[in-house]
Structures are given as C-alpha cells and as structure tokens.
Copies of this chain bind each other. A is one copy, B any other.
Amino acid sequence: MLRILLEGGFQGRLYPVNRYGGEVLGIKAYTSVKNIPGAVDYAFIQVPAKASIEIIRDCGAKGVRLATLFTAGFGESEADGGSKLEQELVSAARQSGVRLLGPNCMGIYHPAENLSFAIGLPAESGSLGALCQSGGNSVHLVRAAAQRGINLSKVIGYGNAADLNEADLMEYFAQDPESKAVIAYIEGAREGKRFFRALKVAAQAKPVIVFKGGQSEVGNAAALCHTGSLSGSKEVWDSLVKQARAIQAHNIDECVDIALALLLMKSPRGRRAAVIGFGGGATVQAADDCCGAGLVLPSLPETIKWELKKFTRLAGNIFRNPLDMSDIINIPPEMGHAVRVVGNWTGIDLLILHLGVEIGPYSLLNLNTLEALGEALIDAAKEVGKPAVLVAHAICSPHGYQEVSRLQEMCSEASLPFYPSIQRAASAINKVIKYYETR
C-alpha cells in the first residue's frame, strides 16, 4: 500500500508503522500509531486479524477519523472465532471514535488526492463514483472504465461492511458533488431497509447502477465466504432496484457499458434507432440484437432511400434499417454522408454506427481506410447532433485488435460511447432510456 501511494504521487504526509521500527521503503517507521509526531487523518491497516483491535484503539487515541482494514480473517472466514473477532473490532472502533472501512477490503481510490489502491490506475478524476464490496471488482471497474474513456471520481471499497456499510456509502454518494452517476457493487445488504431508502434518494438525485453479486444459490454461498454477506433473494433485489428507479447490471463490464451511455451520450427522446453498418449477416444479427434488447428500428421512408440512392448503388446494399452499406464502406466521405442523411431523418431518436472489423465479405483491415472511416463516422455523428454510439468488433487477431483499439481511442477522444458488440450497446442504451422514461 505504501508503494502504491508513493508511486501514485500522494501529496500528504505518510507515516509507516511497524512494531519493530526501522524504515519501510526508505521512510522512517514508527513503532506505534501513538508515536507519530503529527496529526493523522486516515489509517490503512494490514496486520494479522487478532492484532488489529489494539491498532484501532491506538488510532482512536491518536485522533484518526477513518481506518481501512485490509486484513481478512473476520466474519467472512471459516476459521473459528472470525465473527466474534469482527464484533470485538467494531466495539473497539465505536469506543475509540474511529470509523471503519472493511475489514477485508482495499479502501479508497480518490484520484483528486492521488489516493489509490492499486498500481497503475489513472491519475485523472472523472465524474463516476462507486461503492464496491470487492477489491478485485474495484480494480476491474477503474481499469475497464479508463479503457473505454471514462474515469472515476472515487471508488470506496468496503469489504465485510462491519462498520460503514452500503447504506452509509449510498447516502454519501447521493450528495457527493464529484459524482454525477454512481455504481454500486453489493454482495449483501447489512441494513436492507436503510439501504433501500438511501438508494431511492440517490437515484432521485443522479443515475445509480446496482450490480448485485451472488444472485444464484452458489453465488450466495460464495458471497458469504467472500465478505460474510447474506445475500438475499434475486427477486427481492430485482424489485428493490426497480422500485428505487435505479438501473440494474449483472457484471462490471455491463456497469461500464451503462455508465458510458449515461455520461457520454445525450439523453435520447425515445427508443427509435437507426443502425448503419455493412454485411448482410451482420445486419440480420444487428436487427435481432437491437430488437432483443428492446430498441425499435423503424423502416426507412422512401425519401431517405431516395437520398441514399443518389450516391450509392443498389446491389450489395440493403436500404432498410439496419442499413447495409457494403457498396460504400470503403469510401469514408460517402459513409459520412450516409450517416448525415440517415441521422437527420426525424423518425429516429439515436444512431448506432456499426463496423464488423475482420468479419464480412470485405475485411476492413485489408482496405487500409479504417481510421479515415472512423473519423468520417464520428464527425458525421457529431454534426447530426443526435445521441450516437459506435460499435466495432474484431475476432481479435493482433491486427484486428490494434485497429479496433485505435477506433476506441478515437471515440474516447470524441466522447462518443464505444461498444464491442451491438448486443452490449443495445442493452446499455435500452436500460438508460428506461431510466430516463421513469423520470
């Protein structure tokens, strides 16, 4: 943790504590929290479980307000006395006036203060906040979001939730001005009713995405072993999230998919989409995936077809919605023109731009125009001004990966949501539209 803070450029004072004194990573270590000369705001504790209770008392004596307990082996543990030890820990904290994150958690990532919990996480702040009951999922979330072009305002990991729990943290995020949207990964609610109230308030203030881990019986048991959480039934959670008007997700990647549409895409006026891509089979699949996810693909009117036929051939194209523009896919300016023609049609609320790289009768990789094509599509979408996303997928050959990554970067720079499949894009967009509909 000290190394992570040093490498992350944390600007505050750092005091290593080790019962044998000496130095840690070249910094003088104190034998007790109580021997530290200056004031201490926050403690990160990674000592054996049994030793942690005394440390908490020391923290209290020193005036520490908040401690993160990385240490595991409490309520989640099979070992004898884990739950009892956790109760003692909480009593010690209450008596000492110290609030706890954890035990069994990684604590806080807050890039504005260069506070981090893993090596190599972004130093830039964003506007997405998260409370996360799993350290692994926290790291996954921050990395996956950054990869897709959005950053976190802060992530608060809270592990076993022995003291500060999902309800406290949801109350915090409801009023946190740094967080315009919130993701909550929760394995079980310590205070179900209070959490429900907090969720309702938060979801009125800003969009909240809830990902409940442990929805199957075995997943439930795994959650019990992971964070000591009693998970609650899937049905209860489904209805709780729905009633609170929050948005439900089922994995971290889906949380990011939804956050992307919330933060980068204008709010659509409705669910009528146009899909512009190429390849017959890909077009049929896009239709099935969009309809399966609840989007509506209205038929192209004759006026729009007529506009398109001015500069494209008929053979090889399909002038329906989804549009198959195989004929001009290798001519970026004409593809841009097609996006403008279709995008300005008043019959649709949003645009899905769709490039199957490495699939299709044409491999876009062989055309050497993928970057120019991406640029033309992104520029045209910006010009149209309607909500829009770009979907590009490859089978992940090295060359395909490279090209799709470049497209993803271009989308990030242009603040256009990027998705790796129509299915994921359509599902995220639909959930976001449903969210706006309930408001």
Name A residues whose Cβ lies closer than 8 Å to a Cβ of B: 49, 72-73, 77-79, 106, 118-120, 133-137, 139-140, 143-144, 147, 185, 187, 213-219, 221-223, 225-227, 250-252, 279-288, 290-292, 297, 299, 314-316, 318-322, 324, 356, 358-361, 363, 366, 395-398, 401, 405, 423
Residues of B within 8 A of A106 (CB): 361
Seed contacts A136-B359, A140-B356; 10 additional CB < 8 Å A-B pairs: A136-B281, A147-B396, A213-B281, A214-B287, A216-B288, A217-B291, A222-B283, A222-B287, A222-B320, A251-B285
CB distance from A361 to the nearest CB of B (A): 5
CB distance from A370 to the nearest CB of B (A): 16
| B314–A214 touching, CB < 8 Å | no
| B284–A223 touching, CB < 8 Å | yes
Q: Which of A78, A320, A359 has the most chain B CB within a 10 Å cutoff?
A: A359
| B213–A315 touching, CB < 8 Å | no
CB distance from A218 to the nearest CB of B (A): 4
Residues of B within 8 A of A72 (CB): 315-316
Q: Which of B119, B320, B366 contacts A366 (CB 8 A)?
A: B119
Residues of B within 8 A of A283 (CB): 222, 226
Residues of B within 8 A of A119 (CB): 363, 366
A140, B363: Cα distance in complex, Å = 10
| B292–A216 touching, CB < 8 Å | yes
Q: Ordered nearest first, which 5 A-B pairs have the shortest CB separation?
A: A134-B281, A216-B291, A137-B281, A140-B359, A136-B279
Q: Which of B135, B140, B218, B287 contacts A287 (CB 8 A)?
A: B218
| B318–A225 touching, CB < 8 Å | yes
A382, B78: Cα distance in complex, Å = 32
Which residue of chain B has the shortest Cβ distance to A395 in the bound complex?
Answer: B144
| A281–B140 touching, CB < 8 Å | yes
| A395–B285 touching, CB < 8 Å | no
A120, B119: Cα distance in complex, Å = 40
A281 in contact with B226 given A215-B288, A221-B320, A360-B136 (CB within 8 Å): yes
Residues of B within 8 A of A366 (CB): 119-120
| A135–B361 touching, CB < 8 Å | yes
| A222–B134 touching, CB < 8 Å | no
CB distance from A291 to the nearest CB of B (A): 3
| A225–B358 touching, CB < 8 Å | no
Residues of B within 8 A of A322 (CB): 218, 222
A318, B76: Cα distance in complex, Å = 9
A139, B366: Cα distance in complex, Å = 14
A288, B324: Cα distance in complex, Å = 37
A143 in contact with B291 given A251-B285, A318-B225 (CB within 8 Å): no
Residues of B within 8 A of A73 (CB): 314-315
| A139–B360 touching, CB < 8 Å | yes
| A136–B288 touching, CB < 8 Å | no
Residues of B within 8 A of A290 (CB): 216, 218
| B281–A324 touching, CB < 8 Å | no
| B297–A218 touching, CB < 8 Å | yes
CB distance from A423 to the nearest CB of B (A): 8
CB distance from A5 to the nearest CB of B (A): 16
A397 in contact with B147 given A216-B288, A288-B214, A315-B73 (CB within 8 Å): yes
Q: Which of B77, B250, B280, B395 contacts A226 (CB 8 A)?
A: B280
Q: Which of B49, B140, B288, B359 contacts A137 (CB 8 A)?
A: B359
Q: Which of A143, A187, A398 has the most chain B CB within a 10 Å cutoff?
A: A143
Residues of B within 8 A of A314 (CB): 73, 77-79
Q: Which of B77, B185, B423 contacts A281 (CB 8 A)?
A: B185
| B395–A147 touching, CB < 8 Å | yes
A213, B222: Cα distance in complex, Å = 38
Q: Which of B136, B140, B361 contacts A118 (CB 8 A)?
A: B361
Q: Which of A77, A133, A219, A360 has the most chain B CB within a 10 Å cutoff?
A: A219
